[in-house]
Chains A and B, each alone.
Chain A
Amino acid sequence: MGELKLMKGNEVIAEAAIRYGADGYFGYPITPQSEIMETLMAQKPWETTGMVVLQAESEVASINMLYGGAACGKRVMTSSSSPGLSLMLEGVSYLAGAELPCLLVNVVRGGPGLGTIQPSQADYFQATKGGGHGDYQIIVLAPASVQEMNDFVGLGFDLAFKYRIPSLILSDGVIGQMMEKVEVSDYKPRWTDEEIQKISGSWATTGKTKNRERHIATSLDLQAEKMEEHNHKLQAKYREIEKNEVRYEEFQTDDAEYLLVAYGSSARICQKSVTLLRQKGIKVGLLRPITVWPFPSQRIAELANQVKGMLAVEMSAGQMVMDVKLAVNGKIPVSHFGRYGGVVHSPGEVVEAFEKQFLGGK
């Protein structure tokens, strides 16, 4: 068992990055995630692991620093909150187009616009439907605990390099700010130059040697047919990820007659709602997508054969519910409930919404 600590979600992102052997962090302050860079700057990992930490002039610069670092085969990351992520999307599109691996963290707050600094899940579309321009996807991991904030740093980097794709930890203000017991990972050394050559030597811009062609990190091809070919390659990769990397967790679904679908902190709240409903004798289960892209559509389609109705619970006006509806494909009623704009729903409010939707009110 690893070392146990009591930490904030944001702090553990920083701790996990250092322990994982990340090469660089580039970020810009924004509430409610500033503790990530603050923790890194206080830890001074450049003196221990050699990790580079830099406060950039903007989120636009941060994401482009990731491009520069990722193109060198380094494990680089950034973090931000909703408005900052919006600024980064041009860069994310370039990273996806150039097939560069990196790790992003979005500790989501209420929007639109400057919005609020309170928790939200209203960036689901932005995260899972591309967000920036062009046909692309990124892997999106949705932690529901401080422990998963720790675990998904390593998982996010591993998947990013496995598929040469950006990974995003889609957290929210609740998970970022709350303190929980967490088992932190053991220290791993950063990759050596030799390891980088072994892992990314076929594409990384580490300097052109005599025994190979020059490497170019680019998302550009002026010939439409070639760009279509590149898009086919990207789409094939996305289908592969959909096949291999779907992750989810089920809670009391074995005998369930109804299903709640929720991710992140909303899933934590819904666990309590399931317990409250079961105390009333209503057989309700919970499915928690851990990857929201790729989405557990197949499992939800299977459960649509078992349950009478599904309620998607998310702190948004109804975004993930669209993916649930697509998976269910009209077989059973699917509804949405959630507080939003920075307000967190209570387990009781979820129970009330469920009863109103499926049991005709109290």
Chain B
Amino acid sequence: MADIEIKDIIKKENLVYSKSKILTDNEMHYCPGCSHGTSHKLVAEVIEEMGIQEKTIGISPVGCSVLAYNYLDIDWQQAAHGRAPALATAAKRLMPDHFVFTYQGDGDLASIGTAEILHACNRGENITVIFVNNAIYGMTGGQMAPTTLIGMPTATSPYGREAALHGFPLKITELIAQLPGVAYVTRQSVHTPAAARKAKKAIRKGFENQEKKIGTSFIEIVSTCSSGWKLSPVASNQWMEEHMFKFYPLGDLKDAERDNEADYKKYIE
């Protein structure tokens, strides 16, 4: 066999993958096994492929992804805890030809920011919401989130979540799907290449819906938090498949345009 040197392989025609130009070279602070890295990458790829870098405003939350603005090379607004949908509402209404998205965790979106997300979605703001649900507060050290499953131990439910003491896990995505202002609600994951490809398609659809002005697009990404769950990255994925997907099943919850639902039509005249 002839000698093949590395320079013979690194050729443009052999290129099968490259980092999105929208991703910066900053080293990510996320833990091994965390879903944020892949989720960021998918959003970056969609922005690059749609060619909308100059017209995109990201709203980062409070939580692990508070520093998302270090990783995607677009303009960002860093919101107070839970208020990202309020910022996005104003940014989009004042600059309607721009693409505005929020990137929020489950503590941010489903607990302290419940009012803001429900009302932004109910008004049908033409924004895209990326909702990363790992059922725990990662940044503050693994406390119970509104989405924490029954029985799941956390720093503030050390004996496992009990409904009588802590209330029930909140299926906020199901609630959102009831609202007439919402065009598209889907639940995805990024734990396998196939899942990530599907999630990317969903994110792209969410951004494209902004051009159609048909209401809010809401993409939940059921995620892992190896550090918070105190499991290895591999075990986290297994635990997510076994427990999280059972309570938070993947798939589309609403696609008003596809299903030709009457409520979305009021937005297009």
Contact = CB atoms under 8 A, between A and B. Distances in A.
A complexed with B = yes
Interface of A: 23-24, 26, 52, 54, 56-58, 60-62, 64-69, 71-72, 74, 76, 90-91, 94, 98, 205-210, 214-220
Contacts of A206: 75, 95, 98
B48 to A, nearest CB: 12
Contact of A67 (B55, B56, B66, B87): B87
Contact of A68 (B55, B88, B115): B88
Nearest to B89: A65
A91 B83 contact: yes
Nearest to B91: A68
A24 B93 CA distance: 9
A98 B80 CA distance: 11
B86 interface: yes
Contacts of A220: 66, 78
Interface of B: 53-57, 59, 66, 69, 73-80, 83, 86-91, 93-95, 98, 115-116, 119
B115 A64 contact: no
A207 B90 contact: no
Given A54-B93, A205-B75, A217-B78, A61 B57 contact: no
17 contacts: A52-B94, A57-B115, A60-B83, A68-B59, A68-B86, A72-B91, A74-B90, A76-B94, A205-B75, A206-B75, A206-B98, A207-B53, A207-B56, A207-B98, A208-B56, A218-B76, A220-B66
B94 A74 contact: yes
Given A72-B57, A216-B69, A216-B75, A61 B86 contact: yes
Contact of B91 (A69, A90, A209, A210): A69
A205 B95 CA distance: 11
Given A61-B115, A61-B119, A24 B69 contact: no
Nearest to B69: A216
A68 B90 contact: yes
B104 to A, nearest CB: 13
Contacts of B57: 72, 205, 207
A165 to B, nearest CB: 18
Contacts of A205: 57, 75-77, 91
A52 B91 CA distance: 11
Contacts, number: 122
Contacts of A67: 77, 79-80, 83, 86-87, 90
Contacts of B76: 205, 214-218
A60 B85 CA distance: 12
B78 A208 contact: no
Contacts of A68: 59, 77, 79, 86-91, 94
- Interface pairs A-B: 4 shortest CB-CB: A68-B87, A64-B86, A68-B90, A218-B78
Contacts of A218: 69, 76-78
Given A61-B119, A68-B59, A218-B69, A208 B94 contact: no
A91 B78 contact: no
A162 B95 CA distance: 23
B175 to A, nearest CB: 15
Contacts of A52: 90, 93-94
B74 A24 contact: no
A106 B86 CA distance: 21
A66 B53 CA distance: 23
A54 B85 CA distance: 14
A65 B90 contact: yes
B25 to A, nearest CB: 13
Contacts of A66: 90
A61 B116 contact: yes
Nearest to A23: B94
A71 B58 CA distance: 12
A72 B94 CA distance: 8
Contacts of A72: 57, 90-91, 94-95
Contact of A69 (B59, B74, B79, B90): B90
A69 B116 contact: no
A207 B55 contact: yes
